[in-house]
Amino acid sequence: MSLRFENKTALVTGASRGIGRAVALALAAEGARIVAAARSQGALEELDDELRALGSPATLVPLDLTDVEGIDRLGGALHERHGRLDILIGNAAILGTLTPVGHIDPEEWQQVVAINVTANLRLIRAFDPLLRAAPAGRAIFTTSASSWLHKPFWGAYAASKAALECLVKAYAAEIANTSVKVNLVAPGAVATQMRAKAMPGEDPDTLARPEDVAPLFVELADVSCTRNGELIDFNDWKLRA
């Protein structure tokens, strides 16, 4: 029995934990070759052990996404090795400090924007040619309901995700007449380290798990997916699934 992503290559950012890790494992379970990017070498090695248990060792890429030249180098390396990229998962993000807008530290603002927006721009810039070279390239980016809920103290993170949504939707419109499909996922409240930092004291057992969200990414990554330029709310998708 063939697997749906057999002989396909998937790059996952923020792959060492949380939603990124769950998505990497879910894609690997369907046969994908995983290129796992994250800042922590140790956490990547733990992921590699799990992937090897599935019979799918990963290419590990310790990479701080503020290293935009590193993103370009990764694009060149994947071009040389595979000649294409079938799946791009732009998942890495940072929360920053939850604080009134007037108190946002300018340096921290720059860091949030660098990871949550600029790094994804550089991923698109580096990998668009490789996605177009694939028979059915798929790109999925992780956003947040905070971008439209306008909650107090979430200004920096919410603004970065709103900017990401605008960027990705513009890109999706630009590639609408190609075989590439590009979408966004808003996972909602998920039991991750970022959620625990934002909402200390919250019972994680009341939240969705990263493994619950991963099947939505798998669905959007499949060649049969015709959606493009959409923002899919996990909670809405779960009700219809």
- Which residues have a catalytic role annotated? 157
Classify 152 in phi/psi space as left (phi over 0), alpha (psi -120 to 50) or beta: beta
Q: Which amino acid is located at 232 in the chain?
A: I
Report the C-alpha gap between 135 and 162 in whole angstroms.
Answer: 30
Label residue 238 exposed, middle or buried (CB < 10 Å: 0-12, 13-18, 19+). middle
Label residue 16 exposed, middle or buried (CB < 10 Å: 0-12, 13-18, 19+). buried
CB atoms under 10 Å from CB of 32, counted, come to 26
- The radius of gyration computed from the CA coordinates of the chain, to the nearest angstrom, equals 17
Report the C-alpha gap between 186 and 142 in whole angstroms.
Answer: 6
Report the C-alpha gap between 163 and 231 in whole angstroms.
Answer: 13
